[in-house]
Amino acid sequence: MKKLDLRDAENLVLGCSIYGCGGGGNPRYGLKLLREGIKQGLEFRLASLSDLNPHYSLVSAYFCGPIGNPCPGAPERKVSGELRAQAVKVYEKATSDRVAGIYPVELGGSNTPLAWRIAAELGLPLLDADAAGRAVPELAQNSLRVKGRELYPAVLIDALGDIVVLERYSSIEMYESLARYLTTKSCGSVFIVDGGVAAQAVSELLIGGTVSRCIEVGEKYREIVLSDTPEDASRKLAELLGGFYLTSGKVAAAELKVEGGFLQGYYILDASLGRAKVYVKNENIAMWIEDKPAVLPPDLIIMIGDDGYPVLDSWLEEGMKLHVIAAPAHPIWRTEGGLKLLGPQHFGFKERYIPLEALVERLSI
């Protein structure tokens, strides 16, 4: 198994922030989790499928909630490390399963490091795989569900110490509503353990190699950004991701607010290709340039700031200069089942999905 050192941690967080698409959790918090854990002597191990006992289970462990305080004006509460570890133990007791490792539910600046920190605190490895291949806004947008599996049983715990053991749910929408309700009532993110997977089923249900890919991308991009201008670095990042550098511009307006436990709304860029409009639901979801679709979900939209580093949607301010990168989603999201969960019509848009490659050709980029 690979062991994480401080340089790996920094590269992981940078890579995860890129795949976070403007969401996925605050990378500053993610790096803090890893640095503190390494300083405390915790062992951060990254496991491949061959490293695992096939008779044991793996679970995802993650925060659910907007980046930023869901209760403006009130102190934001955090779920402590003790409560996070307790949630995994409660899951084991409720299911009679032995958890052999943790996998990230998505790739993001704090949600992926958090999963690894939880694993290290429990003496478990993190699996080199995740359930999205990017950051996604909703619990439903999970590779298990594309494959016809549900996420229950689940354990949810808030910063006040309230613990919910959910044997099953009537619908994924009800599950999402319950989790978001807890975030708003507790004035903080909710910690969730769910998505139990038998080790022998991992290769079928999860997207493999994504954690090591984030470390690799972070390492390569760190070298690029130290020696290039933000625009040149962004162009090279697009190549690294197999994507496209679309445009650059300044934020002209940003109308984002927390509703129903999500950071939602639109922001406008006065961009080199024209007026660009971006829809946000925790992450950058869709973009139009001069009212024509430029990127549609599930493909990735990544904003790079004028310092060369990824920008969270919660950090946006008028006048901020951004470089816009887009990259193709993992093939699982381009299937019929994937588009049902993460395609344009899921978000209420009239457009049918058009792959990024075709849209870029239309824009003559």
pLDDT over threshold 80, residue 63: yes
Look up residue 133 and give its amino acid.
Answer: G
Based on the domain organization, do 135 and 53 belong to the same domain? yes
Q: What is the pLDDT of residue 64?
A: 82
User: Looking at 59-73, 147-161, 216-230, which range is the least confident one?
Assistant: 59-73
Range of the domain at 305: 230-363
Packing angle of the helix pair 111-121, 6-19 (nearest 10 deg): 140
Are 328 and 19 in contact, with CB atoms under 8 Å apart? no
pLDDT tens, position by position, 19-28: 999 999 999 9
CA pair distance 141, 110, nearest whole angstrom: 18
| Lookup: tokens for 200 | 């022998």
Which of 180, 210, 240 is the C-terminal boundary of a domain?
210
Q: List, in order, residues 6 or more apart from 114 with CB less than 8 Å away.
A: 25, 30, 33, 61, 62, 63, 84
The domain total for the chain is: 2
Q: What is the pLDDT of residue 68?
A: 58
Packing angle of the helix pair 111-121, 210-227 (nearest 10 deg): 120
pLDDT tens, position by position, 214-267: 999 999 999 999 999 999 999 999 999 999 999 999 999 999 998 887 899 999
pLDDT classification of 152: cutoffs 50, 70, 90: very high
Q: List, in order, residues 6 or more apart from 225 with CB less than 8 Å away.
A: 233, 308, 309
pLDDT tens, position by position, 195-221: 999 998 999 999 999 999 999 999 999
Q: What share of the chain is helix, strand, coil (3-state, %, to 5)?
A: 40, 30, 35
pLDDT over threshold 90, residue 157: yes
pLDDT over threshold 70, residue 69: no
CA pair distance 215, 201, nearest whole angstrom: 25
216 domain-assigned? no
220 domain-assigned? no
Based on the domain organization, do 190 and 266 belong to the same domain? no
Are 125 and 326 in contact, with CB atoms under 8 Å apart? no
pLDDT tens, position by position, 281-330: 999 999 999 999 999 999 999 999 999 999 999 999 999 999 999 999 99
218 domain-assigned? no
Based on the domain organization, do 43 and 74 belong to the same domain? yes
219 domain-assigned? no
